[in-house]
Amino acid sequence: MKSFEELGLSEGTLSVLKKKGFEEPSPIQRKTIPAILDGEKDIVAQAQTGTGKTAAFGLPMLELMPEKSKNVQALILAPTRELAIQVAEEIHSLKGKRKLSIVPIYGGQSIEIQLRSLRKGIDIVVGTPGRVIDHLKRKTLKIDNLSYLVLDEADEMLNMGFLDDVREIMEYTPEEKRTMLFSATMPAAIIQLAKKYMREYDVIKITKDQLTVSQTDQIYFEVSAADRFEALCRIIDIEESFYGLVFCRTKLDVDKVSNHLMERGYDADGLHGDMSQSQREKILGKFKKRLLNILVATDVAARGIDVQDLTHVINYALPQDPESYVHRIGRTGRAGKEGIAITFISSKEYRGLQLIQKKTKTDIRKAKLPNVKDVIKTKKRRIKTVLQDIVASTPRSEYFIMSEELLESNNPEEILAALLQYSFQDELNETSYTEIEERVVDSKGKTRLFVAKGKKDNLTRKKLEEFIVSKCNISAGKIRDLEIMDSFSFVTLPFNEAEMLLSLFKKGKKGVGPLITRAKKKASKKR
């Protein structure tokens, strides 16, 4: 396995990496850095998010760039504002003493601030496609002398509808440049983009992790948004030794959840894209040293975090796609140890959870949240263990004199009970927990189905009910809201049974649609 020293990087860069705590290159860095430093071809690299791609292209670019060029030497396109900021900050932290300027440009920030930065002369611009095009059309961003173009998270730019913008930007760039395309997946549109706009290129592919992690116990709880924080606290408190990541969808959620945890006395902190690089490094350093046992983060901020021995990964919000789910839960259950991945969902999100299970070919089992009495019982057991350890290891001291004085006028049980109440009355108070409404997916998670047959086809309520019972092997009690019209019908089923029935009728005869489909919203309103 190659070290950073063997990749051809300068002493100055190696010194920066040492200060940042980088111990060894990731697979994408081992393959990409020498290819950029020693070769002249363009690069198409496939690797999952969170594998160190920014350093993979950023380090060799910084090595090869002349200082004080007074031209934009590199343009890095990123799909989101958060990622653009993160990439710019990461490259800034890698440049060391080199006199190179890096600036992020993105929608939502004052364009005047960006204009002032661009007028000064920038070496590396990291931007979102829309704002980059805006500056190109204003002629406030000139890339005639560009040496490097990087497309970061190319598949995400495709998913977000930025591919036409990317093509337009590429038309502004000179032919004599090196293009580097990084993507977690390689859909046809991305491959076509590479073939059309890139010169001869090297393909670097890092094998994807398995879609499921065998050492990870995957669980979901159905709770309302209002009850999720309470559910999170119960999960943390029921564990003997919790050390985990809590994923939120937005930076506002990260701030809210982490602040509430700290207010309740947990050793927690938050991580998101609006924080400076030094802030993130400080928080991550505390988490790695276990000065924090709970880190709340967004997907973007958590990219590149490599922390061993996590006991839990908690999806405070359902991930937006199966790949994000896999990437999140892959952080626990490492080094042969079993980890636990927990996902909170609402009844409306159950279909999204089913999609994740289907795509990842894994089982995410439903579990019941621990009740307050069980949490308090666990806390009491933990306190007893800690006190016994203290008793066994405490040398004779001034506390023994206090103890003897107290025992002269009180019995031992009363003194110990008073001390426990004084120390732990808040922690062991059941009223500090709020009630959580018990929710059941099967009763609320339902699907309205459209059946392409009705009375004119001799279909009756009884016939349709018997048909569904036979096909899905369910009780008739789960079949609701049967409506038989002249040429079509409606029926409501729980999600699982509805998915089973739909899969049986996915394809109709040639030229004819399937017999049973999901009811459209407009059709549902006719009921």
Give the model's pLDDT for residue 275.
81
Q: Is the pLDDT of residue 42 over 50?
A: yes
Q: Is the pLDDT of residue 485 over 60?
A: yes
CATH of the domain at 84: 3.40.50.300
Contact 505, 493 (CB under 8 A): no
152 and 119 housed in the same domain: yes
Q: Is residue 197 part of a domain?
A: yes
Give the model's pLDDT for residue 478.
75
Q: pLDDT tier at 207 (50, 70, 90 boundaries)?
A: low
Instruction: Count CA atoms within 13 Å of residue 292 on its CB side.
Output: 21
- Determine how many CB atoms are found less than 10 A away from the CB of residue 51: 22
Q: Is residue 210 part of a domain?
A: no
Q: Is residue 440 part of a domain?
A: no
Where is pLDDT greater, at 222 or 521? 222
Looking at 99-108, 235-244, 338-347, 514-523, which range is the least confident one? Answer: 514-523
121 and 10 housed in the same domain: yes
171 and 108 housed in the same domain: yes
Give the model's pLDDT for residue 524.
37
Tell me the three state secondary structure of residue 484: strand
258 and 155 housed in the same domain: no
Q: Is the pLDDT of residue 511 over 50?
A: no
Q: Is residue 183 part of a domain?
A: yes
Tell me the three state secondary structure of residue 314: strand
Q: Which domain holds residue 290?
A: 216-372
Q: Is the pLDDT of residue 35 over 60?
A: yes
Q: Extract the tokens encoding 385.
A: 């263990």
Contact 372, 379 (CB under 8 A): no
48 and 23 housed in the same domain: yes
Where is pLDDT greater, at 520 or 398? 398
Give the model's pLDDT for residue 277.
73
313 and 403 housed in the same domain: no
390 and 410 housed in the same domain: yes
Counting every residue written for the chain, the total comes to 527
Q: Cα–Cα distance between 349 and 225 in angstroms, integer?
A: 11
Q: Is residue 48 part of a domain?
A: yes
Give the model's pLDDT for residue 208.
53
Where is pLDDT greater, at 509 or 166? 166
Put simply, whether the predicted model's pTM sits higher than 0.75 gets the answer no
At CA 444, angle to CA 516 and CA 224, rounded to 5?
135
Contact 452, 482 (CB under 8 A): no
Q: Is residue 86 part of a domain?
A: yes
414 and 496 housed in the same domain: no
Where is pLDDT greater, at 384 or 194? 194
Number of domains in the chain: 4
**H, E, C per residue of 432-476:** HCCCCCCCCHHHHCEEEEEECCCHHHCCCHHHHHHHHHHHHCCCH
Q: Extract the tokens encoding 247.
A: 């994923």
Q: Extract the tokens encoding 55.
A: 């350093």
514 and 412 housed in the same domain: no
Q: What's the pLDDT tens digit per position in 132-190?
A: 999 999 999 999 999 999 999 998 898 888 999 999 999 999 999 999 999 988 889 99
92 and 236 housed in the same domain: no
Residue where one domain finishes, among candidates 145, 179, 205: 205
pLDDT, mean of residues 383-390: 80
124 and 166 housed in the same domain: yes
Look up residue 242 and give its amino acid: F
314 and 260 housed in the same domain: yes
10 Å CB burial of residue 378 (0-12, 13-18, 19+) is: middle
**What is the residue-averaged pLDDT of the chain?**
83
Contact 50, 303 (CB under 8 A): yes
How many percent of the chain have pLDDT more than 70?
87
Where is pLDDT greater, at 55 or 225? 55
CATH of the domain at 491: 3.30.70.330
